Amino acid sequence: MDLQNNELEILRIFSKKAKDIANHAVFKENRLQVSINIKWEKGGPTYTRITAPEYQELLPIVTIVRQSYMENESISFVRVYSIVYQHLAKKTELDPRIMDCVKSAMSGFRDLLRRERLQFSIRMDKKALGPREIVDIWFNGNMFHSDIEKLRKYERLWTAPTGPLADFVFRSTILELANLMVYFGGIIDSHILGDK
């Protein structure tokens, strides 16, 4: 069975968005690293510096990544993965290493958002926040202001002393999701859209 028209269109859109990210200056110039330096003294951090692309520069990437990150979006990573996996699983002549790459991309997406990935804890209201929660708070509390509760959480989270850590987690997660999207877009281009 071949891809339905709407599935093919979803893959084309995802692929185009992945190329848009790959053509962004941050990717072209290989400025994907995010680091944080914190100096601790009695009472907490006194010096924090984050090395990363600026928010204004990241905003086009953030808006694209949001479309693949949110599960209810038409080009969500989970939806695109399902289409790709089901389509490629039917290709008997396909090199099994390609399916391994597809599976590793999905595994990478899930692992990236897990709380256990962090080597430190950011807590709010007695709850540890992972990358998924921090990205969600930023999207809905800062970027879109659509959720008053998340706006309040954003304001609390991005103020000292948690602000620099939340900022670090947000920027590094967005860039890693973008990198994963570019990787997956390449698989789609090479092994599905290349045939169409």
Name the amino acid, one letter, at 167.
Answer: D
Nearest C-alpha neighbor of 28 from the set 5, 60, 6: 60
Cβ atoms of residues 68 and 14 within 8 Å: yes
Gap between the Cα atoms of 62 and 139, Å rounded? 9
pLDDT at 171: 92
Bond preceding residue 164 cis, omega within 30 of 0: no
Strands 44-51 and 122-124: unpaired
| Residue 28 half-sphere exposure toward CB, CA atoms < 13 A | 7
What string of pLDDT tens digits covers the 196 residues of the chain?
478 899 999 999 999 999 999 999 999 999 888 888 877 777 766 667 888 888 889 999 999 999 898 888 899 999 999 999 999 998 888 899 999 999 999 999 999 888 777 777 788 888 888 898 999 898 888 877 677 888 889 999 988 678 888 898 999 999 999 999 999 999 999 999 986 5
Gap between the Cα atoms of 17 and 89, Å rounded? 24
Q: Report the interhelical angle of 5-22 vs 55-69 (nearest 10°).
A: 160
> Is this model's pTM higher than 0.85 or not?
yes
pLDDT at 160: 66
Gap between the Cα atoms of 46 and 58, Å rounded? 27
pLDDT at 174: 94
pLDDT at 196: 57
Domain ranges of the chain: 5-195
Nearest C-alpha neighbor of 137 from the set 118, 123, 158, 164: 158
Which of helix, strand or coil describes residue 101? helix
Gap between the Cα atoms of 51 and 33, Å rounded? 8
Gap between the Cα atoms of 98 and 187, Å rounded? 8
pLDDT at 1: 45
Gap between the Cα atoms of 113 and 67, Å rounded? 15
pLDDT at 45: 67
Name the amino acid, one letter, at 173.
Answer: T
Name the amino acid, one letter, at 156.
Answer: R
